[in-house]
Amino acid sequence: MVSKLPNIGTTIFTVMSNLAKEHNAINLSQGFPDYPISPVLVDLVTKAMQDGYNQYAPMIGVPELRIALAEKMNKLYQSSIHPDTEITITPGGTYAIYAAFTTILQAGDEVIVLEPAYDSYIPTIETNGAKAICIPLRYPDYSVDWELVKASITAKTKAIIINTPHNPTGYVWTHDDMLKLDEVTKDTSMYIISDEVYEHITLDGRTHESVLKYPSLFARSIVIYSFGKVFHTTGWKMGYCVAPAELMNEFRKIHQFLSFTCNTPMQVALAQFLTDENEYLLLPSFFEQKRNLLLELLRDLPFTIHQKAQGSYFQLASYEKINDMPDKEFAIWLTKEYGVATIPVSAFNHNGKDDKLIRFCFAKKDETLELACQRLSKLQQR
Ligand code: GLN
């Protein structure tokens, strides 16, 4: 058959998680927590099921959940999102990214992608018949080279996809980045796909710059969020998408024939759980402690940290002092020989550009991080 994605294999998250299982390694690769979720949330889902919320939810999502989300966003980002016309509940963030690109792209369009980039972006652009125009972020701080972005815009540029806090680098966009984004895109007909799934994981007193805070940006944006990252429930595959009414109307035309809707009891439970602001407002201190612990443990190992994670739950580390294997080989070797799985960062570059970096996920119990670094303590500096 003719493959839609001839150069794409299995996603690195599946490859490394499978390898971790096979070799009984501690899995700091794929981003997911290993600690329990809130028992209150579990009880709310159970109750929703017992109360009979077991049939199809409305296509756009349970109204109470959309209302709770609109209130939360409007308070946090001083926006005026309408729960009926501007929010759709989706089966996860990756799904919403796919549906968003399918909504806006025509064959031959170009999309600007800042690399390293989450591995679904480019294949999603390509299955929609469009072309990714890849621009490297500045190494090693991963800030945006706005001159390069500007120079890459052509008559075919349909969109730019941005991601803050950033996976895998942990870079958090500044107010100035948002102003630059506005300046560079305002006289174009480009859309902005804004992947904000780590919105609540900003560290060291940073604040999240959502496109929702900038009306002129939001007017041409589709914004992606994830409950998995906020409530530690990645396995629920629940997220949502926010866009101005006209765009959202088009998004829903796609969504209704992709998954139609998503599971009802979790939506009912999440609507109730959202009333407790602390569940998300306390995430920065929760994850700051974990990042600091990981950094402290790594300090005694032969890794080099070029940049502390500013946000997200990922920390990059260079292994230049250990050996000069390609990063994929290094990550496999570390999993097999030392029992710790990580993600090689070249998996986030379309051309396999290899800066000899691996990504650690620190959304783990303290004891998991400690045990992993204990295993890594056998590593020798070359
Ligand atoms: N977002 C998660 C990560 O970057 C994984 C998503 C996935 O496994 N598809 O690790």
Q: What are the chain's domains?
A: 12-30+282-376 (3.90.1150.10), 55-277 (3.40.640.10)
How far, in Å, CA of 145 to CA of 196, rounded? 20
Q: Whose CA is nearest to atom 2 of ligand 1?
A: 31
- pLDDT at 122 exceeding the cut of 90: yes
Over residues 85-107, the pLDDT tens digits come to: 999 999 999 999 999 999 999 99
pLDDT attached to residue 159? 98
Please report the atom of ligand 1 found closest to the CA of residue 197: 1
pLDDT attached to residue 123? 97
Nearest to 102 by CA among 158, 178, 152, 49: 158
225 bridge partner residues: 240
pLDDT attached to residue 135? 97
Name residue 367's amino acid. E
Over residues 183-204, the pLDDT tens digits come to: 999 999 999 999 999 999 999 9
- The band of 137, judged by pLDDT with boundaries at 50, 70 and 90, is very high
Q: Whose CA is nearest to atom 7 of ligand 1?
A: 13
227 Cα–ligand 1 center, Å? 13
Q: What mean pLDDT comes out for the span 206-213? A: 98
- pLDDT at 229 exceeding the cut of 90: yes
Q: Provide the token pair at 264.
A: 């009802």
- pLDDT at 149 exceeding the cut of 90: yes
Alpha helices in the chain (DSSP H): 12-22, 39-50, 63-77, 93-104, 121-127, 146-152, 175-185, 215-218, 227-230, 245-258, 264-273, 278-281, 283-299, 327-333, 366-376
How far, in Å, CA of 88 to CA of 307, rounded? 36
Q: What mean pLDDT comes out for the span 205-229? A: 98
228 Cα–ligand 1 center, Å? 10
pLDDT averaged over every residue in the chain: 97
- The band of 128, judged by pLDDT with boundaries at 50, 70 and 90, is very high
Please report the atom of ligand 1 found closest to the CA of residue 93: 1
Pairing of strands 239-242, 221-226: antiparallel
168 Cα–ligand 1 center, Å? 10
- pLDDT at 140 exceeding the cut of 90: no
Nearest to 379 by CA among 328, 318, 337, 336: 337
Which residues approach ligand 1 with their CB closer than 6 A? 11, 13, 30-31, 94, 167
4 Cα–ligand 1 center, Å? 22
Q: Whose CA is nearest to atom 1 of ligand 1?
A: 31
- pLDDT at 131 exceeding the cut of 90: yes
Percent of the chain with pLDDT over 70: 100
- pLDDT at 80 exceeding the cut of 90: yes
284 Cα–ligand 1 center, Å? 20
Q: What mean pLDDT comes out for the span 233-244? A: 98
Contact (Cβ atoms closer than 8 angstroms) between residue 182 and residue 144: no
Q: What mean pLDDT comes out for the span 353-368? A: 97
216 Cα–ligand 1 center, Å? 30
**Counting runs of H as helices and runs of E as strands, what totals does the chain give?**
15, 12
Q: What mean pLDDT comes out for the span 44-72? A: 98
- pLDDT at 77 exceeding the cut of 90: yes
Q: What mean pLDDT comes out for the span 35-47? A: 98
Mutation pick for ligand 1 pocket among 233, 234, 314 (CB with most ligand atoms within 8 Å): 234
Over residues 272-323, the pLDDT tens digits come to: 999 999 999 999 999 999 999 999 999 999 999 999 999 999 999 999 999 9
275 Cα–ligand 1 center, Å? 27
Long-range contacts from 278-283, C-beta under 8 angstroms, 24+ separation: 279/38, 279/230, 279/231, 280/200, 280/230, 281/200, 283/200, 283/201, 283/230
Q: What mean pLDDT comes out for the span 178-182? A: 98
How far, in Å, CA of 67 to CA of 157, rounded? 34
- The band of 212, judged by pLDDT with boundaries at 50, 70 and 90, is very high
How far, in Å, CA of 121 to CA of 167, rounded? 12
Mutation pick for ligand 1 pocket among 18, 94, 98 (CB with most ligand atoms within 8 Å): 94
113 Cα–ligand 1 center, Å? 18
Q: Whose CA is nearest to atom 8 of ligand 1?
A: 13
Q: Provide the token pair at 205.
A: 């007193």
186 Cα–ligand 1 center, Å? 31
Please report the atom of ligand 1 found closest to the CA of residue 11: 9
The CA-atom distances, in angstroms, between 284 and each of 81, 151, 230, 287, 310 are 24, 36, 11, 5, 10
31 Cα–ligand 1 center, Å? 5
Mutation pick for ligand 1 pocket among 27, 29, 30 (CB with most ligand atoms within 8 Å): 30
Please report the atom of ligand 1 found closest to the CA of residue 118: 4
Please report the atom of ligand 1 found closest to the CA of residue 361: 10
- The band of 348, judged by pLDDT with boundaries at 50, 70 and 90, is very high
DSSP string, 256-304: HHHTSS--HHHHHHHHHHTT-THHHHTHHHHHHHHHHHHHHHHHTTT-B
30 Cα–ligand 1 center, Å? 5
